[in-house]
Amino acid sequence: MNYTYQYPRAALTVDCVVFGFDGGTLQVLLIRRALEPFRNQWALPGGFVRVDETLDEAARRELEEETGLKKVFLEQLYTFGGVTRDPRERVVSVAYYALVKPGLVTGDTDAAEAKWFPVSDLPVLAFDHADILATALERLRGKLSYQPIGFELLPPKFTLTQLQRLYEAVLGEPLDKRNFRKKVLSHDLLIPLQEKHQDGPHRPAQLFRFDPVKYERLKKKGFLFEI
């Protein structure tokens, strides 16, 4: 079946920059393209937007189809509309970024090969995906400092040191331990658990979890998270 319009139309896609954290390095999930163009090159997961789904729905669907990821933190990033960004025809892409907790990616799926890369050591990317990724990284850095989204990259239970490592990896600079803990705890958004995290021949660390309910309450009162 064919669809005919009076004027030429751009194709519309979504692309997702999926961030993950392995405890030390910020990572991005890439897909090896099975088809032309840019066959066998690495690219962001993504695909065409269907005419009966919203952009958010399209991003979630593609993410699940290509990486198996579900129920992740997902937010629109920017829309890339360069005229020649796809060699085949005009394609406008609405880019999203996603934050996923460790150990959720099923590894390879269906046809596509999915793999994590450290943001500091990326392969050559298809299309203008390097631009998209750079934009996403910039956004993540900015956002991390004034919204409590870092928890989306950690397991549900985490230690303050893990959280600090994450901030250091994203921001690219070391942070003072005592000041970091003071600031994070001052927001009163972390709930200390009864459990400890044991991880080697040393004192075990207190585990915390993020309190999303309290955060929503505070947010409505015009509260500003900052770190």
Partner DNA sequence: TTGACTTCGTGTAACATTTACACCACAGAA
Partner DNA sequence: TTCTGTGGTGTAAATGTTACACGAAGTCAA
For DNA, which is the closer residue by CB, 61 or 157? 157
Residues noted as catalytic: 113
Q: Enter the tokens of residue 59.
A: 């991003």
Q: Which stretch binds its own copies (CB under 8 A): 7-15, 99-107, 154-162, 163-171?
A: 7-15
Please pick, from the candidates 159, 171, 193, 209, the single residue that binds DNA as defined by CB under 7 A. 159
CA distance 47 to 126: 13
Quick check: 200 binds DNA (CB under 7 A)?
yes
CA distance 47 to 218: 37
- Minimal distance, residue 81 CB to its own copies, in Å: 4
Q: Which amino acid is at 59?
A: A
The two beta strands, 91-99 and 46-48, are unpaired
Scanning 22-30, 121-129, 141-149, 197-205 for contacts with DNA by CB under 7 A, the matching segment is 197-205
Q: Does 37 bind its own copies (CB under 8 A)?
A: no
Q: How far apart are CA 145 and CA 153, in angstroms?
A: 14
Residue whose structure tokens are 């997961």: 45
Looking at 24, 82, 156, 212, which residue binds its own copies (CB under 8 A)?
82
Contact of residue 205 among its own copies, DNA, none (CB under 5-8 Å per partner type): DNA
Query: Is residue 181 near DNA by the rule CB under 7 A?
Result: yes
* Site size for DNA (CB under 7 A): 21
Choosing from 119, 160, 166, 169, the residue that interacts with DNA (CB under 7 A) is 160
Whether 19 contacts 140, CB under 8 Å:
yes
Is residue 145 at the binding interface for DNA, with CB under 7 A as the rule?
A: no
Residue 178 sits in the site that holds DNA (CB under 7 A) = yes
Considering only 12, 137, 149, 205, the residue that binds its own copies (CB under 8 A) is 12
Report, in Å, the least distance between residue 178 CB and DNA.
Answer: 3
136-144: Cβ within 8 A, 24+ apart: 136/17, 136/19, 136/77, 136/95, 136/97, 137/17, 139/77, 139/78, 139/97, 140/19, 140/97, 140/99, 140/170, 141/170, 141/171, 144/170, 144/171, 144/227
* Residue 35 CA: distances (Å) to CA of 32, 181, 201: 9, 48, 49
- Which region among 21-29, 79-87, 114-122, 192-200 touches DNA (by CB under 7 A)? 192-200
Q: Is 226 in the site for DNA (CB under 7 A)?
A: yes
Sequence-distant (6+) residues with CB within 8 A of 7 are none
List residues binding its own copies (CB under 8 A): 1-12, 48-56, 58, 76, 78-79, 81-83, 90, 92, 94
